[in-house]
A and B are shown apart, each in its own frame.
Chain A
């Protein structure tokens, strides 16, 4: 399984990942569009000194992949791993990732709902 450590791509050298345009930029740098198409499983590492992984960044980084693959296949292909040993921080970041998935699913469902009215 190949790993990608997001520490190399953290915007503004801070402790958080936020902003949808920033997520999209990281997506391009990593080349996730090409990775989506191959059969490899990927591990995405959230570095241990991260205070927040906002849904905006999550969507910028992963929304196209989730749209293309579907949530279940996305989760099989991409394993998101939180590097910290601190359980408090781990819980917080786990909730952030859940927020990301929820927002992604809402966006996909909403797109499908709106298309009925087009």
Chain B
């Protein structure tokens, strides 16, 4: 009986011991997995954050480069274009105002004045817009379109006869519009992100 009792005791003890050991082993196994995973997770997180930092840094460098290499000088050249255009137009409309009789050379004078304005636009195109052709073809394309529309507006403007104030008011309107459009287009590489970006839904128009 004793033996049998002892046997059962042993058996029970053994069983309890077995269960305990099993628990410990399971815990140890989980613990081992965790200790193996933790540094891996840390390393992966570190690598991802470094990649994100590097990407942000490159974008910032690219934006700064574009600003220094192109945008800063473009702003000055745009002002220059508009200021010189203003001078030419003021001269033209002043002369037109002073011509009280129909000038037989009206066509030639108009063509010459328009050509002076076109020369300014050509120079602006070659100096400011052409350098963007290779790296920023979309900005180049949009800028050229704006310049074409500017030229069309000037052509129409020079058709205004005998009304100096109307002509100059129209010019101020054209000037404001083209300045806004050109600066908007030229700023795109640094101010606006690419399409299909979540940020674009909340983008703010700077001008």
Contacts and interface: CB of A to CB of B under 8 A. Distances in A.
Interface stretch (B22-30, B39-47, B114-122): B114-122
A56 B144 CA distance: 10
Interface stretch (A25-33, A35-43, A88-96): A88-96
A55 B148 contact: yes
B155 interface: yes
Interface string B123-165: 0000000000110011011001000110110011011000000
Interface stretch (B11-19, B83-91, B104-112, B178-186): B104-112
Contacts, number: 65
A7 to B, nearest CB: 14
A65 interface: no
Contacts of A89: 107-108, 111
B111 A51 contact: yes
A54 B159 CA distance: 15
Interface residues of A, number: 26
Contact of A110 (B110, B112, B133, B148): B133
Given A18-B156, A56-B152, A92-B115, A106 B133 contact: yes
Interface string A89-113: 1001001100100010011001001
Interface string A50-81: 01101110010000000000000000000000
A10 interface: no
B155 A54 contact: yes
State the majority secondary structure of interface residues on B. helix
23 contacts: A16-B155, A18-B151, A18-B152, A51-B111, A51-B114, A52-B111, A54-B148, A54-B151, A56-B149, A86-B108, A88-B111, A88-B112, A89-B107, A92-B111, A92-B115, A99-B122, A106-B133, A106-B140, A106-B144, A110-B133, A110-B137, A110-B141, A113-B137
Given A19-B152, A54-B151, A114-B138, 15 more contacts: A16-B114, A20-B148, A51-B107, A51-B158, A52-B155, A54-B148, A55-B151, A56-B148, A59-B148, A92-B111, A106-B141, A107-B141, A107-B144, A110-B133, A113-B134
Interface of A: 14-16, 18-20, 49, 51-52, 54-56, 59, 86, 88-89, 92, 95-96, 99, 103, 106-107, 110, 113-114
